[in-house]
Amino acid sequence: MKTNNRFENKKVLVLGLALSGMNAAKLLLELGAMVTVNDAKELNDNPDAKELISSGIKVIAGSHPIELLDESFSFMVKNPGIPYNNPMVKRALELGIPVLTEVELAAEILEGRLIGVTGTNGKTTTTTMITELLNAGRKIGKAYKAGNIGVPASAVARVATADDDVVMELSSFQLMGIEAMRPAIAVITNITEAHLDYHGDREEYVKAKWRITENQTAVDHLVLNWDQPELREMSQYSKAQIVPFSRTQILKDGAYASEGSLYFKGEKVMDISDLRVPGEHNIENALAAIAVAKLSSVANESIVSAFHLFYGVEHRIQFVADLNGRKFYNDSKATNILATKTALSSFRTPVVLLAGGLDRGNTFDELVPFLENVKTLIVFGETAEKLKDAGEKAGIKEIVMTDNVASAVPISYQYSEEGDTILLSPACASWDQYKNFEVRGKTFTDAVHSLVKATSEEDGSF
């Protein structure tokens, strides 16, 4: 961890706890700051706050009193989920108090190389791919993944050494709170519309994403999706060396796909068939990861070896098992129709689709054109009837209604044949039956593994 005196003996307000706030408060205390934490959750129901109090940190819980900002703070570090129109944040800015996010703190103490990954879609998968590729065949140091991926950046930065890499997934929320963060390599996977309720409009959202490169210099690299005209146009405003990637065109100075293979600067790196994750979007993610790996001098053999072992990020079109020629995939993260469209577009084999969940009042008519490859639809949860209706409109002959994900798994096997894909991609949030999409996904994978075990015992191959 780098020595950093910026916060020593300075009053710092941490607004909002959760993982990022908790770790930011601990780091600031270690850096010599006088830390106050303000969290909306009541103290009696707030174990994180109690832990910080036991560490000697002042905690104000249960509300956000605006008068707290009269205490002459030098900095505010806010949870990235708290918008900038929050009264506490607005007042801090009016008073001229710098408002940072936890990733900026992490960047300030990080000794190793920082690789930042942002974009609307594919951030988590690309971050994970890059980390796996950088660790493949590595002899000195280690690559860590951190940030929006669910691992607090400041916690990783405290242990990373000068020989290590930190691959940091960065949301637009986090990027809005940076000042000096400067990735040696920055990656923008793509940009579409998202989080407009937070940013106000698309222009502000794009500006937030683009901040990943604002402190880069000519010795740094910016890896960009060249298939997006908007990013091609914006590339001229970065001081970094541009490294493009494309699924549709040959790029002599970047990564690209051509005739079934993936290339970097004209050199074949691997066959697309070596990827274990399906879908054109994953080809783009792999190209971005390959660009970072080649800029880091990773050998082609190590890249191929790492991809052979990469079966996807948990709950995101994650390969689970192959049972008698049926491949099971867990895409529980598909909590909306768009995500399920992407999943269905990733397969050319016949699909047995498991879908359903929380009813948000919408229909599933826009999913109908994407169901043409679905041979059997198994539905559950509050939206079961609506999804059944969509399946009938799509002409699916076999539609089965069941209670939940666990009961859907053996039914899916019963209705499948060798060569089929069995896909959990609910197109709905999980909260009608499950705490979150992770619990729903684990329920699915546990049911699949139980089915594999039971089937193996029956045929004597266990």
Residue 333 DSSP code: T
d(C-alpha 41, C-alpha 48), whole Å? 10
The topology (CATH level 3) of 11-100 is: Rossmann fold (3.40.50)
Domain residue limits, the chain: 11-100, 103-308, 318-454
Q: What is the CATH number of domain 318-454?
A: 3.90.190.20
Q: How many CA atoms lie within 13 A of 260 on its CB side?
A: 2
CATH architecture of 103-308: 3-Layer(aba) Sandwich (3.40)
d(C-alpha 281, C-alpha 245), whole Å? 12
125 is in an annotated binding site: yes
d(C-alpha 24, C-alpha 5), whole Å? 15
Adjacent-strand bridge partners of 379 = 355, 401
* C-alpha 154 chain-centroid distance: 18
* DSSP assignments along 199-219, one per residue: HSSHHHHHHHHHGGGTT--TT
Q: Please choose, from the candidates 33, 32, 50, the residue with its C-alpha nearest in 3D space to the C-alpha of residue 41.
A: 50
pLDDT in tens, the chain (462 residues): 898 899 999 999 999 998 999 999 999 999 999 999 999 999 999 999 999 999 999 999 999 999 999 999 999 999 988 988 899 999 999 999 999 999 999 999 999 999 999 998 899 999 999 999 999 999 999 999 999 898 999 999 999 999 999 999 999 889 988 999 999 999 999 998 655 565 667 888 889 899 999 999 999 999 999 999 999 999 999 999 999 999 999 999 999 999 999 999 999 999 999 999 999 999 999 999 999 999 999 999 999 999 999 999 999 999 999 999 999 999 999 999 989 999 999 999 999 999 999 999 999 999 999 999 999 999 999 999 999 999 999 999 999 999 999 999 999 999 999 999 999 999 999 999 999 999 999 999 999 999 999 998 776 654
Backbone angles phi, psi at 317, to 5 degrees: 45, 50
120 is in an annotated binding site: yes
122 is in an annotated binding site: yes
Q: Please choose, from the candidates 323, 333, 326, 367, the residue with its C-alpha nearest in 3D space to the C-alpha of residue 349.
A: 326
Residue 417 DSSP code: -
121 is in an annotated binding site: yes
Q: In Å, how far are 230, 304, 390 from 252, measured between CA atoms?
A: 20, 21, 45
Q: In Å, how far are 101, 262, 361, 424 from 17, measured between CA atoms?
A: 12, 43, 32, 33
H/E run at residue 407? helix 405-414
Residues 150 and 130 sit within 8 Å (Cβ to Cβ): no
Fill in the amino acid letter for 321. Answer: A
325 is in an annotated binding site: no
d(C-alpha 376, C-alpha 415), whole Å? 7
